Each structure stands twice: as C-alpha cells, then as structure tokens.
A and B are shown apart, each in its own frame.
Chain A
C-alpha cells in the first residue's frame, strides 16, 4: 500500500513539476484572493488584521478546490481511470498517494499565503508551534476529504460545479477549527487553540480512514 502510495504521489508531483499548474495558476489565484479581500474590507479600518485568520483559510479552501480538481482532471482524460483500475495498484495506495500529493501542494500554498498575510495585511505571526501544527492537520483533512470527493466527481460531466457543492459543506468544520486555532495563536491564547487542533485531527483521521476503505469502490464507477 505505501509503496503504491509513494509511486502515485511521485507521479503526481512529477506531473505538477512538468506542467506547473499549481505554481503558475493556483498560487497566483490564492494571492489574488488575498488582494480581493483587501478591496472588499477596507484595509484602513483594521478589519483585515482582525479577520486575517479567516481570510487565510478561505483562501486555502478555494485553492484546495482547484488543487483537487486538477489532481483528478489528469486521471479522467484519455482512459487513465481505466488504466489505474487495470494497473494492479492498491486503491488505498492510490488514495494515499493522491491525497499526499494534494497535501504537499497545499502546504506550499499555505506557506505562500502566510507570507502574503504578513506582507499584505501586516499581520504579526506568533505561536509558531500551534500555527504549524494547525496547518499540518488541517491540510491532511482537506486533502483526504478533497480526494474522496474528487474521485467521486471526476468521472462526471458536471464535476467542476459539483465538487464545490459537495466538498465545501463537509470541510466547513475545518475552516471553523483552523480559523479559531490561528486566532488563538495570533492572540497568544494558545491553550484554546489546541482543542481546535484536536477537532481538526479527528476530522483528518476519519476522512483518511474512510478514504483507505472506500476509495476502491469510488474509483470503480465510470
């Protein structure tokens, strides 16, 4: 399973390295979202600073949608889904591989967005341990849930419109939890933040386990 996961993750990252879709399109989009928030919320009134945590995670959520779309778009063209089914790869391994690749791309985007909020919103980052832990568990949860819904929607003609409808309500707790944890980290009240990290961890564990068990069945349908 883990050998297959490494193979699939390596392949997906190689696809990204050659096509640069995340670097050239998703990353600029994420920064653009940060800039648009500044237009929507007047930067002079301090609203941006107060809302930094939430805006950061909304930007991550939108980027995650694009990353998941992309990860499964490459599997749904030209018989690649059939090829995956015929390959002999363990479906759980495929799930872990695809989710890991999405998670790594998201981690890169989050690093960029953190720099973005520091520069654009003049946010002072603090509580680094809580900040990084939150990012890690929230990203794993987002990537796992995203990969499950991604493969579900991948074979459908309506996938672009269906994926946000299915995925966003499900990951609403991640937005909520990660935002509160970030606020706690910024506000130096890290004790509150760790209980949110616990919730995010539960979410990640549930969806990773679900994916390992159910991904094979979801890959079947075409």
Chain B
C-alpha cells in the first residue's frame, strides 16, 4: 500500500487479504478446539480460566493498535505523510474494537470468579480509561475540518493521550495495588500445552487485527482520495468566475494537497 494506488478499486479486498482472512478463520477454529477441548480446566479457577486464551491475545492486539496510533501520529507530525496519518486513525478504530473485546471478556470472566461483572481491578480500570481516551481521539478526528488541520489536531490528541497512559496505569495500580484480588492469570505454573494455546491465540488475534486494519486503512485512504478529487476542477471553476482561462493551475492534485 503506497501512494501509487491511484486507480479506484471496486472493493478493499485483495488476494493477500483474502488469504489472511481465511487463515484467521481457520486459526480461530484451532484456538477454539485447543482452548475448549484439548487443554484441561485450571486447578483453581476451573473452566473460567479458558477465557485467558481470548482475553490476553485481544488485550495484546489492543496495545499494538494504540501503539500504531501513536507511531502514526508521530510520523505524521514528522514527515507529514498521509500514509502514516491513515495508519494512525485506522489502528485506533480497530484498537477500540479490541479494547471493547478486552473489557467484555474481562467482565465475562469476572462474573463467575468474583460474582460481579465489574470490579475496580487495576487493569480493567486502566483499559476503561484507555477506551475513553482514544474514543476522544476518534471524536476529534471525525470533526469536520481541513485535512491538514484535522490531521494535526488528531495527532496531538493521540500524543496527549499516549503520555497519559503510563500515569493512568501507575496511579490506578498504586490505588488498587494494596487490595488486589485475583486477576485473570493462571494460578499454577503455566503448562506447555496451555502456553502453546495462548501463543496460538495471540497469533490469531494479531492476524485478525491485521486483516481489519488493512481493510480499514484502505477505506480511509479511499475516503481521502474522494476528498481530493475535484480540486483541479474547483480551481478552474473559480478562475472561470473571473472569465479567465486556466493558466498556471497546478498540474496535479498532489501539488496542491500536501
């Protein structure tokens, strides 16, 4: 995916993404079999612990998403590259979906373990604040504005949120650290089979993340493309108001839209 994608495709799929999507589906089936059938229940937490094969991988993918948002924002501010800006916003949207999944799986696990859906566990609390922080990013991102203004504004919101994450995490874990109850982690030393299942789950979650990200990226890219189409036309129409022919009009749209 580079700047060369000038022709407008009919859809955002490609051979690679179809293969990736298919592999992800197979991977999900494999993890289901491994997690529900092959591995045994946890000594202390019983069957509820099986959620770890889903919860931890989606949490990791969520972190990758927000990491990419930060990286994309920094790269946009540095290079002013549209590619990185699009990465930032796409990764944030997909990251929010994974944050939602992380919170939901955490709550589903909390019900049988603690008897309540929500507990002010350090990690759950941090994740919920993360969700709100990056939701703010998306809200700012989708406010109507000029492209450059929008990109700069959202890049700064992403960075402001990012520098807050360690402080949020630190404060919440200090706060809850004193009366920390069991979190979603295995009680005994993790067995080889469990570790294998967990790793497979992680790879599958990241594959699914990549699949969603590529599609979201392409949609966002095409949206921007649509925005810049017609600028040449607008300039010549504007000049026509003065009854002048098009002289000195920039040859390409790219020259005008930086």
Contact = CB atoms under 8 A, between A and B. Distances in A.
Please say whether the chains A and B touch (CB closer than 8 A): yes
Interface of A: 145, 148-149, 152, 156, 158, 162, 165-166, 169-170, 172-173, 176-177, 180, 195-196, 199, 202-203, 206-207, 210, 214, 217-218, 220-222
A162 B139 contact: yes
Contacts of A206: 163, 167
Contact of A217 (B136, B140, B152): B152
Contact of A218 (B143, B153, B163, B175): B153
Contacts of B156: 152, 214, 217-218
Nearest to B143: A156
Main secondary structure of the interface of A (DSSP, over half): helix
B136 A210 contact: no
Contacts of B132: 165, 169
Contact of A172 (B135, B157, B168): B168
Interface in B133-169: 133, 135-136, 139-140, 143, 145, 149, 152-153, 156-157, 159-161, 163-164, 167-168
B167 A173 contact: yes
A158 B143 contact: yes
Given A172-B129, A206-B167, A222-B149, 16 more contacts: A145-B160, A148-B160, A162-B143, A165-B135, A165-B136, A165-B139, A166-B139, A166-B157, A169-B129, A173-B168, A176-B171, A176-B175, A199-B170, A199-B174, A206-B163, A221-B149
B219 interface: no
Contacts of A158: 143
Contacts of A214: 156, 159
A151 to B, nearest CB: 10
22 contacts: A148-B160, A149-B160, A158-B143, A162-B139, A162-B140, A165-B132, A165-B135, A165-B139, A166-B139, A169-B129, A169-B133, A172-B171, A173-B168, A173-B170, A180-B174, A206-B163, A207-B163, A210-B163, A217-B156, A218-B153, A218-B156, A222-B149
Contacts of B159: 210, 214
A170 B133 contact: yes
Given A158-B143, A206-B163, A221-B145, A152 B157 contact: yes
Interface of B: 129, 132-133, 135-136, 139-140, 143, 145, 149, 152-153, 156-157, 159-161, 163-164, 167-168, 170-172, 174-175
Nearest to B133: A169
Nearest to A211: B160
A141 B51 CA distance: 39
Contacts of A149: 160
A176 B172 CA distance: 8
Nearest to B161: A170
Contact of A202 (B136, B139, B161, B167): B167
B149 A173 contact: no
